[in-house]
Amino acid sequence: MVMVSFNVIICGGGLGGLACAIGLKKKGHNVTVLEASSTLSEVGAGIQVPPNSVKILKEYGIFDKFEKLVTRPKNIILRRYDTGAPLSTTPLDPDMTETYGNPYLLIHRADYQRFLLEAATELGITYKTGCRVKEVDPETATVHLESGESYTGDVVVGADGIRSKVRDTAVVTEEVVSPLPSSNCAFRATVPKEEMLSDPVIAHLMTDVNSNCWIGYRRHVMAYPIRNGEMYNIVMSHPGQASVGKWNEPGDVNEMRNHYKTFDPVVRQLLTHVKSVLKWVLADLPKLPRWVSKSGKVVLIGDAAHAMLPYLAQGAAQAIEDGATLAEELDKITSVSEIPTALLSYQKLRKRRPETIQAGARKNGDIWHLPDGEEQEERDALMNARDGHNPDQWSDREFQQWLFGWDAFTSTYPKA
Ligand SMILES: Cc1cc2nc3c(=O)[nH]c(=O)nc-3n(C[C@H](O)[C@H](O)[C@H](O)COP(=O)(O)OP(=O)(O)OC[C@H]3O[C@@H](n4cnc5c(N)ncnc54)[C@H](O)[C@@H]3O)c2cc1C
């Protein structure tokens, strides 16, 4: 129950900012989202939605609409890059629901964003596009836009991604926090359902619904159907460089195919159907000294606070968890003067979890990208063993429980 309604300004209307807006609006706050882009991004790429974020969508009461847009994979299958032989299979549907109470889903990023925007605007949040944040004054909680306009609230949320202006101008001001580009880039592409089904070598990828991931030296291909089976999504991680934070640089299709010339014939056949690719560098952030400004009025969520490599598919999920916990902590106070206490409490409850996942994602990348040899053979034997510790953290029972079992509203693990 809301005792007081705060004016909250969220900088950045990506997945994290929009979900946070929904969480705060449902608690009765006045929410304005300032988004730099003038239109909703239609970047053609899939995203995995793990049980820990499905839980939040359900709690917000918006899951039913969302469910119509998703695909439910049966398993995540890690495969040897050159033969396609399965190395490790993580059962997803119905196992995730049985174990964690919520399913593991796949969705088109643009559908996810559109759905969250619709839900947020139906609830009555104000969403302003073409509002590029230049800087934030942490003392007055005032957001200054490049256009010259300003907005002042009781609290400012920085949800403006890996190159956050909110972080750099109001939260961590003593040094420039540069994103850490990894040595890998990702190509992203989609193939329409009809084209997939017309080719007998790859049709099974569409009809036998799984997340497949072929792992090899410094490269992998992660692929799965999205948009309720309307298209096939392919993410191809490989050594290379692109601009940090740019999600839509065109890539070279021949270069892309060349990167995977030693891969499973099924992958190579799949890639013959790719007409164009986008690429971006995979980068993360170092641990930040704080997520809350010294004034106690500005707070970071999502990639602005803890951008991570995608090797555990948790970046957006963690951004969504941040918003849920932030709304709970603000709900515990009754006056504007207590906002710094609520924000620090949010930081205390949250900071370590995404930072652990950041490190876990780096580690998973290293494990997936081993060269062939003794270490890779040991890894494969452990992955196949099925009991005990699995070097792929996604499949490791203990890590999985920690990752997917979290309740961001109570910041606890529900009792079994
Ligand atoms: C290849 C790849 C695959 C991934 N797969 C998954 C996955 O399967 N599952 C998962 O959970 N995560 C995944 N992620 C991570 C996920 O995409 C991010 O963690 C997530 O998008 C972060 O959301 P965000 O809202 O914090 O930031 P962003 O998505 O970066 O959104 C930031 C928003 O702020 C806006 N903005 C930026 N600067 C300004 C400014 N100055 N003023 C106003 N607005 C501004 C931007 O336009 C954008 O709308 C993947 C990432 C990559 C690179």
Give yes or no for residue 16 CB within 6 A of ligand 1: yes
Supply the pLDDT for residue 42: 61
SS3 content of the chain, % helix, strand, coil (to 5): 40, 25, 35
CATH classification (class only), 7-178+286-404: alpha beta
Which of 10, 20, 35, 151 gets mutated to test ligand 1 (max ligand atoms within 8 A of its CB)?
35
Grouped pLDDT means (10 residues each) for the chain, 416 residues = 84 98 98 92 81 97 90 96 96 94 95 95 97 98 98 98 97 94 93 97 97 98 94 95 71 95 98 94 96 98 97 97 98 97 98 97 96 97 82 87 96 77
Which residue's CA lies nearest to atom 29 of ligand 1? 14
Which residue's CA lies nearest to atom 38 of ligand 1? 160
Give yes or no for residue 36 CB within 6 A of ligand 1: yes
Supply the pLDDT for residue 214: 98
Pick the CATH number of 182-284 from 3.40.1710.10, 3.40.50.2300, 3.50.50.60, 3.30.9.30: 3.30.9.30
Q: Which of 154, 158, 166, 167 is nearest to 339 (CA)?
A: 154
Q: Which of 360, 74, 386 is nearest to 212 (CA)?
A: 74
Count the alpha carbons within 13 Å of 221 in the hemisphere toward its beta carbon: 28
Which of 22, 47, 143 gets mutated to test ligand 1 (max ligand atoms within 8 A of its CB)?
47
- Spell 161-192 as b/e; 16+ CB within 10 A means b: bbbbbbbbbbbbeeeebebeebebbbbbbbbe
**38 CA from centroid of ligand 1 (Å):** 16
**351 CA from centroid of ligand 1 (Å):** 18
Supply the pLDDT for residue 65: 86
Q: Domain residue spans in the chain?
A: 7-178+286-404, 182-284
CB 297 within 8 A of CB 154: yes
Tokens of 412: 């606890």
Which residue's CA lies nearest to atom 49 of ligand 1? 14
Which of 10, 15, 282 gets mutated to test ligand 1 (max ligand atoms within 8 A of its CB)?
15
CA distance 27 to 285: 31
Give yes or no for residue 14 CB within 6 A of ligand 1: yes
Please tell me whether residue 127 adopts helix, strand or coil conformation: strand
Give yes or no for residue 302 CB within 6 A of ligand 1: yes
Give yes or no for residue 365 CB within 6 A of ligand 1: no
Instruction: Supply the DSSP symbol for 393.
Output: T
Give yes or no for residue 221 CB within 6 A of ligand 1: no
Supply the pLDDT for residue 97: 95
